[in-house]
Every structure is written in C-alpha cells, then in structure tokens.
Amino acid sequence: MKAENIVWHHGEITKKDRQVRNKHKSAVLWFTGLSGSGKSTLSVALEKELFDLGIHVYRLDGDNVRHGLNGNLDFSEKDRKENIRRVGEVAKLFVDAGILTLTAFISPYKQDRDWVRSILPNGEFIEIYMKASLEECEKRDPKGLYNKARTGAIKGFTGIDSPYEVPSSPEIIVDTEKLSIDQSVDKIVEYLKRNNYITLKK
C-alpha cells in the first residue's frame, strides 16, 4: 500500500549547484542488451576512464544490485519490472547528486526503459544499446547461463524463452562484435564531450 501523509522536503543545495561544483553535467548512461553483450565489461572500463578524467561517476551493475537492494526479487516479469523501477529511482537520486551514473542491466522491456527516461529531465537519460547477436552472446556465455537455459536449468531467460525488446532510437549504439572495449569507451566519451556533458580533458 502506498504511503500517505508524506511531503517532499526541499533542501538548499540544488542539482545545478552540484553540477557547477563538479564542473560537469550529471545523467544516467543506461546500458541495455542481452546477457553477454558486454554491458558490465564496458561500463567498468568507461567508469575507470571517466574517473581518470576527473568526473564524478558511479556504476550500478545488475548482478551487484541484486546482492543487496534488489536481493528479494526473482526473474519473473513482475520482479524484473520492479528491479528496473528501483534502479531507475536510485539512478535519479545519483543524478540529483551531480553524478554521472552508469547502469548495466539487461532491462529487456522497452516500457520499463522508457519509464526510467520519463522520470528524468530531458537529456539526462542516455540509452546505450549494446548490439550483439544472440549467437555471439551464446558463444561468449561468460557466466554459463545460456547453456543452462538451453538445457532447461534456467527458465525465463532473456533471448531464449523470454523476449528482449531492442531499443527503437537509443542515443548510442555500440556494436560489440565490431568495436573493441577501447573503441567503445572512446565512442561514448566522445558523445559526452560533443554534447557538453563533460568538458575536461585528460
């Protein structure tokens, strides 16, 4: 049941104040794609590059969040939606804190990703589609999950017996079958510089 008798309590420090102090904008870089498409790997590399550039950055990873905040959720459609809802709200808080926030989640449903976009001001949700074929992701299978899904040990696995809805117009497409990690990092950093999210140089 939704809580009642609650009122938003405004502080004296604004998001703009924090961005000015940090000398860069804040936004959510939302990595989405099949398991094995490279979301976590690229977000880790990008976080390190941005940190080295002096950017206030933090990474929220799908598996990591399920160890704590979302530890009570399973992989049913209902709980997957709740997983993204919670992460979206947390990411929104990080953006308000002036932090460039990276999120690496399969987030298979377009409706859920669009909802996160809707709770953020225009320009503060950057959808990054990690493009990789199912065949390639199965070939990589870093966690051995596709094999388990194919043998029936895992049910409702995205790409096998649960759908993945490809983004219709993401801000960035990273083709992980063609680009190296370094090339992918450079592509995203260039986007952030070109669109004035960051201005610092290494």
Q: pLDDT tens, 163-193?
A: 999 999 999 999 999 999 999 999 999 999 9
Residue 172 domain flag: yes
The SS3 call for residue 135 is helix
The answer as to whether 170 is a domain residue is: yes
Q: What's the rounded Cα separation, in Å, for the pair 124 and 118? A: 10
Q: Is the pTM of this model over 0.85?
A: yes
d(CA 126, CA 195): 11
- Is 107 among the catalytic positions? yes
Rounded to the nearest 10 degrees, the angle between the axes of helix 15-22 and helix 77-96 is 70
Is 180 within any annotated ligand binding site? no
CB 71 within 8 A of CB 102: no
CATH number of the domain within which 27 lies: 3.40.50.300
Judge whether 8 lies within some domain.
no
* Residue 36 marked as a ligand binder: yes
Is 10 within a domain? no
Residue 151 three-state SS: coil
Interval 12-33: pLDDT, tens = 899 999 999 999 999 999 999 9
